[in-house]
Structure 1
Amino acid sequence: MNNDKSENNSLSFIFGELVYFPYYDGLEDAIAFTVSEHQITLRERQLIEALLVGLQPGSGSVEPRKNKLSEEERMQQFGRWLLLQNTGESGLPPADLNLSDDLTKQMVPLLLQGEGLQASYSQLNKLLDSYLEGDVLLVPLEQKEWLILASENSVLGGEDERDKDPSEPVEEVLTAFALGLYELIANEWGGVFHISVNRPFLPAEDLPGALSLLRETLHLGKLFHVSEHIHLPWELRLERLLYSIPDEQRQNFIQQDGINSGLFGDTETLSTLDTFFQLDCNVSETAKRLYIHRNTLIYRLDKIKQETGLDVRTFNDAVLVRLILLLYKVTKSK
C-alpha cells in the first residue's frame, strides 16, 4: 500500500493495523473514525482528511453539528450547565443552545420530582405541550427530576384574561395550575411525585437561584407535610424559618417546654392537628375534612389539652402547639 506511516503533517494516524481519523465536533465530544490500513489508499486517506476539515465547526462549508442536536439533547446540556451553577460555577448558558429568547421573557418555574414516576422525556414533554398553549421548556436535572419553564401567558393567561378577574391573586392561579398538572400526570402514569411552583420571573436574571428555591421548597414540603404533593414557597415561610434554627436549639425548645413529644408520635393526633391548623382552626370544617363527627373532634382536642395543658382552640396555645409540632417533625427527621 502507499500509506506513509511516518508522514508528520497528516491529520490521521495509524495505530496497530487501523487508520484513525480524529474529529472534534466543537462541543465536548472528540470522535475518531477508523478503517483497516489495508483497505484504504493514501489518496483516499487524504480525501477523508479534507472532508473532515470541512466538517469542523467554523469551516463555513457545513452546518456545525450543534444545530443537529435534538430537543432532548439540547435540554440535557442546559440541565448540566444549570446544575454546575449551583456548585459555584457562573456565566451564561452556552450560546450554541440558542436559549437567549427563552431566558429573556417572563416564565413560570416548576420543579417536578418523581421517585416513582415512570415517564420518559418525550412522553412528559408531549404531555406538557398538550396542557400548555404557550412555550415550555422541559429541562432534565438529576435522576427523575425535571425543571419546567412555562411562558407566563400559558399559565396565567393573557392580559385580557387576567383583566376579567384582577382580584384573583397570582398565587391562587399558580396553585390551581400546579394541582391540574399533578392530576394530569397522576392519571397518565401514577406513581409518587411532587411538584413545586413559584411566581413568574425572568430566567436570565437568576435561574440558579430560582431552582434552588424550588428544591428547598420541595424538601421542606416533603419534610413538614408528608401527605401533600404540591408544595408552595409562600406557604412554607414558617417552616423555612424553623428549619434554619440549629438542631440543638430546636431540641432545647421542645424539652424546656415540657410537652410530652410522644403525643406527636400518634398518627391520629398528628393528622388531627395538621388538618385543624390547615383549616385555620375551624372545628366544623376540620371535622368534615376528617370525616368524623364534630363531637369526636372536640373530644380529641380536649384530650390534647388534658395531656399538654394547651387548648389549640385559643390563639396563643394554637401558635405554641403549631411551633412545637413543626419542630418535632424536623427533629424526628434528623
Structure 2
Amino acid sequence: MRSAESIQQQLQQIMGTPFGIVSLADSLEPALSDFFKKDKSDSGSFPTSFIFDELVYFPHYIGLEDAIAFTVNEHQITLRERHLIEALLAGLQTRPLQSHKSRLSEEERMRQFGQWLQQQNIEESGLPPADLNLSDDLVNRMVPLLLQGDGLQVSYSQLNKLLDSYLGGDVLLVPLEQREWLMLASESLVLGGEDERDKDLSEPVEEVLTAFALGLYELIASEWGGVFHISISRPFLPTEGLPGILSLLRETLHLGELFHVSEHIHLPWELRLERLLYSIPDEQRQGFIQQDGINSGLFGDAETLSTLDTFFQLDCNVSETAKRLYVHRNTLIYRLDKIKQETGLDVRTFNDAVLVRLILLLYKVTKSK
C-alpha cells in the first residue's frame, strides 16, 4: 500500500509544482468539512476533486481509516492536468470514497467479519455481508493462520502493526474469541509469485508454510513473549469454504496442544494419525492400551514421554535423538532398553515402534479426558 508521502512526491515530480496533504476527517476546519460533505455526486460518493479557497482538493483514502486530500493551488495546474491527477489517484485508490461517518474502523470491520465467520456452518461458503467491503480482499487464494494464546498480552492494533511492518501488507487480521486471531495472507506474499515458485519446484509447499509459521512465531515471541500457539494450512480460496478452514485450524491447535505439549507450531498434515486416534471412542481407546503386555505405568513418566516423543519426531534416529535431548548415546540406549524390559517392545524395530507410537498417542488422549 502506497503511503501518502510517496504519492505526494510522485505528484510533485510529475506536475513540477508543490502539493500539500490535509485531513478530511470531521475534525477538519468546519467550513471545508461542510463543503466537502455537500459537494457529492448523485451516487452519494465524494467527488474526485473540488476547489475550495483557491486550492484544488483531490480526496483519497490510504487504507480504510485515513481520509485525506492532496492539494495544489488552482492556478498552478490546467483543467487537463487536473483530470490527469484524478485518473492517477483513481488507479491508486484502494476503497470507494464514502461518508466518513458511515465507514467502520479497520478493527471493528474485522471484528464483525470474525463474528460473522463464527456463526457460519463449516460446510457453508460465500462472502461476508457487503457492508464490510471484503469482496475485493477475498477473491484471491490466501494462506490461513490461526493464533491462540491466553498468555499473549497484545492488542489488535499492536499485532496488526507488527504484521504490516513485517509482511508489508496483504494480510487480514480477524479477531475471534478472546486472545484468538485468524490471519489471512495472500498466497503470493507467503509462497512468492508464480515466477519465483517456478525457479525452485524442489521445495514442497508444506516446508515453505512451516518456515513461514515458525518465522512469525519467533517474531511475535521476541516482541511480546508469552505462551501461544500457531496453526497454518495450505492456500485456499476464501469463497470456497472459509468456515471449514477455521474449523480445521482450531482442531489442529487442539490436537497439537494435546499430543505435542512442548511444540508451538501445529501443522494439519503432520497430525493425520493423531486426528484418527482422537476420533476413536473412549471405551475402545481404553481397551486397547489395557491389553495384556501393553499396559504399563512407564508411560506416566515425564522422562520416558520426552524420550519417546523426541525419538519418534526424529524418525527413530538414536544419534540425533541423543543430541536433541543433550544426553550421551549410551544413556539413550539405556532408556530404550528399559522401555523394552517394561513393555516387551523394542522401539528400534519398525513394528514395535509403530505399536509404541500408537500406545503413546492413545495414552495422551485418554489421559486428557
- Per the normalisation by structure 2, the TM-score is 0.72
TM-score by length of 1: 0.79
The reply on whether 1:195 has 2:230 as its aligned counterpart is: yes
SS in 1 for 2:241: helix
1:86 is displaced (CA, Å) by 4.0
Per-residue CA deviations over 1:20-41 (Å, capped at 9, x if unaligned) read: xxxxxxxxxxxxxxxxxxxxxx
- 2:202 aligned residue: 167
Question: Which residue in 1 is equivalent to 2:217?
Answer: 182
The answer for the alignment partner of 1:239 in structure 2 is 274
Q: Contact 2:125–2:241 at 8 Å: present in 1 too?
A: no
Counterpart of 2:263 in structure 1 is: 228
**Of 316, 322, 333, the match for 2:357:** 322
Out of 133, 143, 147, which is 1:112 matched to? Answer: 147
Structure 2, unmatched stretches of 5+, are 1-37, 47-97
Q: 1:81 to 1:309 in 2, by over 3 A?
A: same
Match of 1:77 among 100, 112, 116: 112
Which residue pairs with 2:297 in the alignment? Answer: 262
2:49 equivalent in structure 1: none
Q: Distance in 1 between matches of 2:226 and 2:104?
A: 31
Give CA-to-partner distance per residue, 1:111-160, whole Å, 9 cap, x none.
00011101110100011111213400000000000000000111111122
Residue 258 (structure 1) shift:
3.1
Native 8 Å contact 2:345 2:356 kept in 1: yes
Amino acid corresponding to residue 106 of structure 1 in structure 2: R
Paired AA for residue 254 in structure 1: I
Deviation, 1:69, is: 0.7
Q: Unaligned regions of 5+ residues in structure 1, if any? A: 1-53
Quick one: which of 251, 270, 274 aligns to 2:309? 274
- Alignment partners' CA distance in 2, 1:168 and 1:87: 31
Q: Shift in Å at residue 101 of structure 1?
A: 1.3
Distance 2:365 2:349 in 1: 24
Residue 110 of structure 1: SS of its match in structure 2?
strand
Matched, 1:149 2:184: yes
- Residue 248 of structure 1 aligns to a residue whose secondary structure is helix
> For residue 136 of structure 2, what is the aligned residue in structure 1?
101
Q: CA deviation at 1:88?
A: 8.6
SS in 2 for 1:129: helix
Deviation at 1:92, TM superposition (A): 3.5
Secondary structure of the corresponding residue to residue 148 of structure 1: strand
Q: Which of residues 322, 330, 336 is equivalent to 1:287?
A: 322
Cα distance between partner residues in 2 of 1:193 and 1:61: 43
Taking the aligned partners of 1:158 and 1:67, their CA distance within structure 2 comes to 36
Higher share of residues assigned helix: 1
Whether the aligned pair in 2 keeps the contact of 1:86 and 1:212 (CA below 8 Å) is: no
What pairs up with 1:43-58 in 2 under 5 angstroms?
none
Does the C-alpha gap of structure 1 residues 236 and 205 become closer, same or farther in structure 2, counting only changes over 3 Å? same
Q: Which amino acid aligns with 1:81?
A: W
RMSD: 2.0
Q: Pick from 245, 263, 283: which aligns with 1:248?
A: 283
Q: CA deviation at 1:61?
A: 9.2
The 8 Å contact of residues 231 and 249 in structure 2, kept in 1 or not, is answered as: yes
What residue number does 2:247 align with? 212
Q: Deviations over 1:146-196 (max 9, x none)?
A: 000000111111122222211100000000000000000000000000000
8 Å CA contact 1:79–1:139 kept in 2: the answer is: yes
Question: Partners of 1:105 and 1:257 in 2: how far apart?
Answer: 55
Matched, 1:124 2:169: no
Contact preservation (8 Å) 2:175, 2:181 = yes
CA contact (8 A) 1:304 1:310 kept: yes
Secondary structure, counterpart of 1:195 in structure 2: strand
Aligned residue identity for 1:280: D
CA deviations 1:14-71 (Å, max 9, x no partner) are: xxxxxxxxxxxxxxxxxxxxxxxxxxxxxxxxxxxxxxxx9xxx99599567742110
Number of residue pairs matched by the alignment:
278
- Name the CA distance, whole Å, in 2 between partners of 1:92 and 1:163: 31
Question: 1:101 is paired with a residue of what secondary structure?
Answer: coil
